[in-house]
Amino acid sequence: MPHRQSLIPILWLMTDERIGDGLWAALRRLPRGSGVVFRHYATAARERRALFRRVVRIARARGLVVVQAGERDGFGENGVHGGARGSGLQTAAAHDRREAVAAVRRGADVLFVSPVFATRSHPGAKALGERKARRIAQGLPVVAIALGGMDARRFRGMTGFDGWAAIDAWGSRGSGAK
């Protein structure tokens, strides 16, 4: 694994409006060196920036990496998620092999393959399953992160991924990194 990839977190929290005030507990549960993808897409711009600044303050104090989604100016703390261009870490989601290859061509360092399992974030969406999810990122020069219905217990039994990401698993009742 290249040196740059060895510095990329393997545990991630994906944020959104659904997490609510549970965001603060989730940030406390993340182990040092973990990552946060800030995705509050539906939050009004002014409130979103204030919330992002608060997340960044906590992340800095706790040694967490923060990338931001949905901002075309790429003002993420440590990088950007999705189609935004910026400096630092570039992360992207992939739901099929075509999206994965396109993300790598755009310079992605991290690929969130999703949804591996059924997830409350996308009710009714068909889960990929472990085997299909593994094939999406197979052989690509990125850090592959499993997303969708993930927690530490499920990840322990998986192969083909460098790490995992979740929303609910980091909440007050989630299993976190245990």
Domain CATH number, residue 112: 3.20.20.70
In the predicted model, is pLDDT for residue 7 greater than 70? Answer: yes
The answer to the question of residue 151 being in a domain is yes
pLDDT digits (tens, 9 = 90+) for 50-93: 999 999 999 999 999 999 887 655 456 788 888 666 678 999 99
The answer to the question of residue 141 being in a domain is yes
Number of domains present in the structure of the chain = 1
The answer to the question of residue 175 being in a domain is no
pLDDT digits (tens, 9 = 90+) for 99-136: 999 999 999 999 999 999 998 877 788 999 999 999 99
The answer to the question of residue 178 being in a domain is no
Using DSSP's 3-state secondary structure scheme, residue 129 falls into: coil
The answer to the question of residue 177 being in a domain is no
Which domain range does residue 39 map to? 3-170
